[in-house]
Amino acid sequence: MFIIDRYLLGTYLKTLAVLFLSMTGLFIMVDTTSNFDEFVAYGKQQGGLHRVLFDYYAPRVLTFFDRTSGILAMVAGMFVVSVLYRSNELTAILAGGVPKSRVVRPILAVSLLVSLVAVANREWAIPKLRGKLIYNAQNWKGENPRPMTPAYDNRTDIFMDGKAVLAAQRLILEPKFTLPPALAAFGTRLVAARAFQQSANAEHPAGYLLDEVAGGERGPGEADGLVEGQLAILAPRGRAWLKPNQLFVASEIEFEQLAAGHAWQDMAGSLDLWRAMKQASQDFSAATRVRLHARLVQPLVDMTLAVIGLSLILRRAQRNIFVAAGVSLFVIACFFVVTLGAHGLGGIYLLRPDLAAWLPLLVFMPVAAGVSQGIWE
């Protein structure tokens, strides 16, 4: 690695660190102010306020980096070039016969590295901390009831609803499961005092154990409920693990989907989300498909933004760092308008999900090619 590479990379990384730490600190300060009473209460139970703040915000810093990494990489690169212009260092470098492309390459290389780190963070780190990210400060431990998000099981045609959920116990309070005609032997609705989510094992598939089912105890001869030949409701007959007043409803609907709605999808890895979309029980919306495609294209979008930002600064030979900030804001605003518009159209089926996710790249890549002409020579 040459001296110029080390210098540019060092300046870039320092700028990136300052930008990220400043924005993260501002986010934590504002959020802590609005939730301070809750943190103090948790601190009395868990050994101090500092420990609570670290446990709560450490996972959220990762999500903040995920949402801002591409923009921060672009802005950091633009600021580095502006500072080099302002100090006349770039003029000296170019006067020494070093082409602009030689200056841009190490900045783009480290921008690509930042984008790849963001991918690793999105696919591995955040999903492992999903349980700490779904709930806010008012119900961080999942010990307080929160409204349940109803869900329709596409495999069994059972509509799952309830009064509330308790995340800490993976429990549905007062579940009300509406049944299809194929399960008419159990009535039109299953009403119980509570339902516990249980994973698949040797005795039963994944699903929900309904306790204190309304209608009294079940007879020993009651048969299971089948939908198109597949088990949908397991009755107590021949099952020691089921009490007479219990039923088991087989379902692949994740508890997080009932507890947090669509928010859990933002914390799931792409592979997990793809597997969930393949399950017969769940029918995901077009917005979910747009989200999955957008993850695949995100590194390319990040690099396209970096090229546009650097090209605009180099073409204008901009020395004023505030003008550079204005150019950055303009590029970011245009990017968000196009991205939100495309994703919104894809979410309501006016665009195909894959096209909606790729449209920002299709719009900005020609722009990047146009504004970067002359700096690669």
Residue-wise pLDDT tens digits, 316-371? 655 566 666 677 778 888 888 999 999 999 988 889 999 999 999 999 999 888 88
79 and 166 inside one domain: no
158 and 129 inside one domain: no
Asked whether the beta carbons of 192 and 211 are under 8 A apart, the reply is yes
pLDDT at residue 220 in the model: 44
Asked if the structure places residue 278 within a domain, the reply is no
> What Cα–Cα distance (Å) separates residue 92 from each residue in 3, 87, 147, 197, 321?
14, 10, 63, 67, 19
Asked if the structure places residue 272 within a domain, the reply is no
* Residue among 151, 257, 156, 250 at smallest CA distance from 200: 250
pLDDT at residue 118 in the model: 94
pLDDT at residue 221 in the model: 45
What is the enclosing helix (H) or strand (E) of 211? strand 207-213
75 and 182 inside one domain: no
Q: What is the mean pLDDT of residues 190-197?
A: 94
The tens digit of pLDDT for each residue in 211-267 reads 999 875 554 446 889 988 888 999 988 888 998 889 999 998 888 888 877 777 778
Q: What is the mean pLDDT of residues 10-16?
A: 92
* Residue among 196, 191, 197 at smallest CA distance from 175: 191
Q: How far apart are CA 288 and CA 349, in angstroms?
A: 12
Q: Is the pLDDT of residue 288 over 70?
A: yes
pLDDT at residue 376 in the model: 67
Ranges of H-type helices in the chain:
3-34, 36-45, 49-86, 89-95, 100-120, 126-128, 130-133, 255-260, 263-267, 270-278, 286-316, 321-347, 353-371
Query: Which one has a higher pLDDT value, 323 or 274?
Result: 274
pLDDT at residue 218 in the model: 52
For residues 270-299, one letter each, b for 16 or more C-beta atoms within 10 angstroms of the residue's C-beta and e for the rest, the string is: bebbeebeebebbebebbbbbbbbbbebbb
Task: Tell how far CA 86 is from the center of its chain.
Answer: 39
Q: How far apart are CA 329 and CA 12, in angstroms?
A: 19
126 and 155 inside one domain: no
Asked if the structure places residue 146 within a domain, the reply is no
In degrees and rounded to multiples of 5, residue 308 shows phi and psi of: -65, -45
118 and 8 inside one domain: yes
pLDDT at residue 244 in the model: 87
Asked if the structure places residue 280 within a domain, the reply is no
Asked if the structure places residue 226 within a domain, the reply is yes
Query: Which one has a higher pLDDT value, 136 or 179?
Result: 179
Asked if the structure places residue 143 within a domain, the reply is no
The tens digit of pLDDT for each residue in 137-171 reads 777 666 788 889 898 898 899 999 999 998 878 89
pLDDT at residue 219 in the model: 46
Enumerate the β-bridge partners of residue 207. Answer: 198, 250
In degrees and rounded to multiples of 5, residue 318 shows phi and psi of: -80, 120
Asked if the structure places residue 216 within a domain, the reply is yes
What residue numbers bound the domain in which 157 lies? 151-260
Q: What is the mean pLDDT of residues 291-320?
A: 82
246 and 308 inside one domain: no
pLDDT at residue 318 in the model: 53
pLDDT at residue 325 in the model: 66
* Residue among 163, 240, 162 at smallest CA distance from 203: 240
Amino acid at 65: F
Asked if the structure places residue 313 within a domain, the reply is yes
pLDDT at residue 158 in the model: 93
Q: How many domains does the chain have?
A: 2
Q: Is the pLDDT of residue 25 over 80?
A: yes
The tens digit of pLDDT for each residue in 83-137 reads 888 888 887 887 888 888 888 888 999 999 999 999 999 999 998 888 778 777 7
211 and 296 inside one domain: no
Asked whether the beta carbons of 60 and 291 are under 8 A apart, the reply is no
Q: How far apart are CA 204 and CA 309, in angstroms?
A: 56
> What Cα–Cα distance (Å) separates residue 256 from each residue in 42, 90, 103, 259, 358?
23, 52, 47, 5, 29
